[in-house]
């Protein structure tokens, strides 16, 4: 293929599939995990600050800096192994320490991170977990440990990966503020498989947490949508009330539409992210290939009871928002129809008024024309009498009789003359 030209992104796209390898964990061991975010729905994560903060951690242990373009790292810091990953909205750190320590879930595994470094975190903590990986598959001992470590009411336990391990957790924060998970494996389970189990548990937790952010947003939005729903219903009712002007309804509809579009823009990203994250949670649980452990609820069953209803609430809130937007559009169509009808009615009234004024003007014009005939005939008769009066004695006719004879002739001639003039204007 020496004569072919590679796409500029060919190497990067191929390497991306191997960019985030699973850690390797040798039981017995402990693992600590936390995730934080510096992003908001309106702006992205501060990548430079997140990377600078990670480099300060490497400097604390004298570890060389990786390439500037890397978004993940897995290496040894002192006696522990640390995995760092940058995601779209959050950053994760995973610490793996050999051995179980003195006490179970005492929080000592987080001591890898210096207190000053933790205080300078460029974001807010989303979640943190403490994992304990033990070499043990004895059912009685596992049950005793689970009863002492976790809350029975919310405990989820299952066999995973074809009985390669038993995992357990209750998704409750302990006194240190961390969620606790236990992993019990036989000696036959390899380090890479244990590492995959640990990473899957942490991924389920962080993606579950990110999904729940959508629930928090939907709860705050629901109260606002209640107000919009009431106002929109009142607006629809006003459309049938002739006493309410269409302009008033239009002003109210514009305000409601603006509010709905504002809500939609504010939650669109979060609701879309919640949908994607919840799908990842389901997929991560699916690949664990869970089986029952002593009749206890599995992680899938726990999510069905607690997590899935939350996600359906988010979907319902999103659906309600879209329904209100559709209702506002339909209301706008109805209002537009009413405005058109009102305008047509106003146009008809205007035309009728114009017709009445035209009729009145025509009547006035006829009246004026009739008066003009009388006036012109009066003056024409007077002029005619001035001409014919001297001949009245000659023909033996009195002036009164002469006037009476002249008036019909003059009026007739004036009428015919004016009629011919009007006919000429019309042509």
Q: Is 244 found in the same domain as 113?
A: no
Answer whether residue 356 is part of any domain: no
- Pick from 110, 128, 105: nearest CA to 182: 105
Residue ending a domain, among 347, 363, 393, is 347
Asked if pLDDT for residue 6 goes beyond 90, the answer is no
pLDDT for 310-343, tens place per residue? 999 999 999 999 999 998 888 877 777 766 766 7
Question: What is the average pLDDT value for the chain, to the nearest integer?
Answer: 85
Q: Is 94 found in the same domain as 138?
A: yes
Domain holding 164, by residue range, is 21-190
Answer whether residue 274 is part of any domain: yes
Higher model confidence: residue 137 or residue 55?
A: 55
Higher model confidence: residue 380 or residue 224?
A: 224
| Cα 16 to chain centroid, rounded | 30
**Beta bridge partner(s), residue 234:** none
Asked if pLDDT for residue 124 goes beyond 80, the answer is yes
- The tokens describing 24, both together, are 């390797």
Query: What confidence score (pLDDT) does residue 237 get?
Result: 77
pLDDT for 405-414, tens place per residue? 777 777 777 6
Answer whether residue 390 is part of any domain: no
pLDDT > 70: percent of the chain = 83
Q: Is 259 found in the same domain as 306?
A: yes
Q: Is 41 found in the same domain as 164?
A: yes
Q: Count of CB atoms within 10 A of residue 127's CB? A: 21
265-300 burial, b for 16+ CB within 10 Å, e for fewer? ebbeebbebbeebbebbeebbeebebeebeebbbbb
For residues 158 and 296, give the distance between their C-alpha atoms in angstroms, rounded to a whole number: 7
Q: Is 229 found in the same domain as 132?
A: no
What average pLDDT does this structure show over 209-216? Answer: 94
Q: Is 177 found in the same domain as 40?
A: yes
Asked if pLDDT for residue 14 goes beyond 80, the answer is no
Q: Is 223 found in the same domain as 180?
A: no
Q: Is 79 found in the same domain as 186?
A: yes
Answer whether residue 378 is part of any domain: no
**Contact of 178 with 107, CB cutoff 8 Å:** yes
Q: Is 218 found in the same domain as 250?
A: yes
Q: Is 290 found in the same domain as 175?
A: no
221 pLDDT band (50/70/90 cuts)? Answer: very high
What average pLDDT does this structure show over 234-244? Answer: 71
What average pLDDT does this structure show over 49-69? Answer: 90
Residue ending a domain, among 131, 160, 190, is 190
Answer whether residue 328 is part of any domain: yes
What average pLDDT does this structure show over 206-213? Answer: 95
For residues 77 and 62, give the distance between their C-alpha atoms in angstroms, rounded to a whole number: 8
- The tokens describing 163, both together, are 């009985």
Q: Is 231 found in the same domain as 116?
A: no
Phi, psi (deg, nearest 5) at residue 139: -60, -45
Answer whether residue 264 is part of any domain: yes
Answer whether residue 386 is part of any domain: no
Q: Domains in the chain: how many in total?
A: 2
What average pLDDT does this structure show over 341-356? Answer: 75
What average pLDDT does this structure show over 23-42? Answer: 87
**Contact of 257 with 328, CB cutoff 8 Å:** yes
Residue ending a domain, among 347, 363, 384, is 347
Answer whether residue 169 is part of any domain: yes
Q: Is 177 found in the same domain as 29?
A: yes
pLDDT for 280-299, tens place per residue? 999 999 999 999 999 999 99
- DSSP string spanning 183-238? EEE-TTS-HHHHHHHHHHHHHHHHHHHHHHHHHHHHHHHHHHHHHHHHHHHHHHHH
What average pLDDT does this structure show over 254-282? Answer: 91
Alpha helices by DSSP H, 389-398 = 392-395
């Amino acid at each position: 293929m020496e004569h072919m030209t590679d796409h500029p992104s060919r190497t990067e796209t191929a390497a991306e599939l191997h960019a985030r390898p699973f850690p390797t964990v040798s039981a017995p061991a402990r693992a600590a995990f936390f995730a934080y975010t510096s992003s908001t729905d309106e702006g992205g994560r501060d990548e430079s600050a997140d990377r600078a903060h990670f480099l300060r951690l490497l400097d604390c242990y004298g570890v060389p800096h990786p390439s500037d373009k890397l978004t993940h790292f897995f290496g040894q810091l002192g006696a522990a192994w640390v995995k760092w990953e940058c995601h779209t909205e959050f950053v994760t750190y995973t610490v793996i320490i050999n051995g179980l320590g003195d006490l179970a879930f005492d929080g000592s595994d987080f001591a890898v991170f210096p207190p000053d470094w933790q205080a300078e975190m460029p974001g807010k903590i989303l979640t943190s977990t403490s994992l304990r990986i033990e070499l043990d598959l004895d059912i009685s001992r596992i049950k005793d440990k689970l009863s002492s470590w976790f809350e029975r009411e919310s405990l989820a336990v299952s066999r995973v990966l074809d009985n390669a391990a038993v995992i357990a957790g209750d998704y409750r924060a302990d006194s240190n503020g961390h969620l606790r998970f236990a992993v019990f494996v036989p000696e036959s389970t390899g380090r890479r498989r244990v590492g995959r189990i640990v990473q899957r548990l942490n991924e389920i937790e962080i993606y579950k947490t990110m999904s729940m952010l959508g629930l928090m947003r939907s709860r705050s939005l629901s109260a606002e949508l209640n107000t919009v729903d009431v106002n929109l219903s009142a607006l629809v009712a006003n459309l049938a009330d002739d006493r309410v002007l269409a302009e008033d309804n239009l002003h109210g509809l514009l305000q409601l539409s603006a509010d709905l579009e504002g809500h939609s823009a504010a939650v669109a990203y979060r609701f879309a992210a919640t949908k994607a994250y919840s799908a990842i949670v389901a997929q991560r649980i699916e690949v664990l290939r869970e089986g029952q452990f002593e009749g206890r609820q599995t992680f899938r069953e726990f999510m069905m009871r607690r997590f899935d209803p939350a996600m359906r609430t988010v979907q319902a809130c999103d659906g309600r928002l879209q329904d209100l937007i559709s209702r506002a559009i339909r209301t706008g169509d109805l209002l537009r129809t009413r405005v058109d009808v009102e305008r047509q009615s106003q146009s008809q009234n205007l035309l009728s008024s114009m017709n009445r004024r035209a009729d009145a003007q025509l009547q006035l014009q006829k009246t004026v024309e009739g008066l003009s005939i009388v006036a012109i005939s009066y003056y024409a008769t007077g002029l005619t009498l001035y001409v014919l009066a001297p001949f009245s004695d000659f023909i033996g006719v009195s002036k009164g009789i002469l006037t009476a004879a002249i008036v019909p002739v003059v009026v007739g001639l004036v009428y015919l003359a004016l009629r011919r003039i009007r006919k000429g204007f019309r042509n």
